[in-house]
Amino acid sequence: MEFYEKRSKWYVITDTGSKHKFVKKTKALEFMENLKKSAPTIEQDESDIIEEEKSIAEKMKKAKATVTLDDLQGSYE
């Protein structure tokens, strides 16, 4: 996160690249503090990933091809 002054205005550039302009330095500092406090921590359990992979595998088993190559070859002759 960047914080700087330019032409009597205070700028904050977040980690995502968005730029925010403030008239007062205190408001810019408050904004930066709020960003640090509200930054979400994403924790993902390995069991969630395993369950997701299982559900994808089950969907793939259920989704069988309804048209085979043999069916298509007969239609072009």
Q: Over the stretch 11-37, which tens digit does the pLDDT of each residue have?
A: 998 888 889 999 999 999 899 888 887
Kindly report the average pLDDT of the chain as a whole number: 78
Q: Is 2 helix (H, G, I), strand (E, B) or coil?
A: strand
H-type alpha helices, 1-77: 25-38, 46-62, 69-75
Domain that holds residue 35: 1-77
In the chain, the percentage of residues whose pLDDT exceeds 90 is 17
What domain count does the chain have? 1
CA 22 – CA 8 distance, rounded (Å): 9
The DSSP H or E segment spanning 22 is strand 19-22
Q: Of 15-19, 38-42, 52-56, 73-77, where does mean pLDDT reach its minimum? A: 73-77
Q: What sign for the dihedral angle of Cα 4, 6, 12, 18?
A: negative
Q: What's the whole-model pTM score?
A: 0.47
pLDDT over threshold 70, residue 39: no
Sign of the CA dihedral 62, 63, 69, 73? positive
